[in-house]
Amino acid sequence: MTRNRSISVVAGLVALTTLTQCFTNRKNEGEKLYVANCQSCHMEDGSGLRGLIPPLAKADYLQLHREELPCLIRHGISGEIVVNGQEYNKEMPGLERLQLDDVTNLLNYIQTNFGNDNQRYTMTEVEELLESCPAH
């Protein structure tokens, strides 16, 4: 009985180690996506560009418009928005090429960095929200 338990424990540890290694390469994916797609406008620290580009850092918009954010990432936005009491009216292009997991990773990076401590998204949630995006 002890031998079977030892074999089970070893097999479990091997499986856990293997699974952990599978996800290691994507650990910083949200940050990489942010740097490649968002940082040039929203800045390295998420502060935005005063008066032109809204901040992501400590942005109330991230909580107030949580359900809209996946669509905003995928399809962009135009028109006036208000972030932390400041009005912005600069068009943001969408990132249509991003896959579901990329959108999820990017959103989770933004939601948990730059002084933000917001609820993370699941891929299922992002998928459902993307399916309900207004037609573009």
Residue 85 neighbours by CB under 8 Å, 6+ apart: none
- Evaluate whether residue 60 is within a structural domain: yes
Domain that holds residue 97: 27-131
User: For residue 70, is it within any domain?
Assistant: yes
Q: Is residue 13 part of a domain?
A: no
DSSP, collapsed to helix, strand or coil, labels residue 53 as strand
CB 30 within 8 A of CB 56: no
Measured between alpha carbons, how far is 103 from 16 in angstroms, rounded to an integer? Answer: 26
Task: Supply the pLDDT for residue 24.
Answer: 38
> Does some domain include residue 20?
no
Q: Is residue 10 part of a domain?
A: no
Q: Is 22 a member of any domain?
A: no
52-64 pLDDT per residue, tens: 999 999 999 999 9
CATH code for the domain of 80: 1.10.760.10
How many domains in the chain?
1
Residue 11: pLDDT band (50, 70, 90) is low
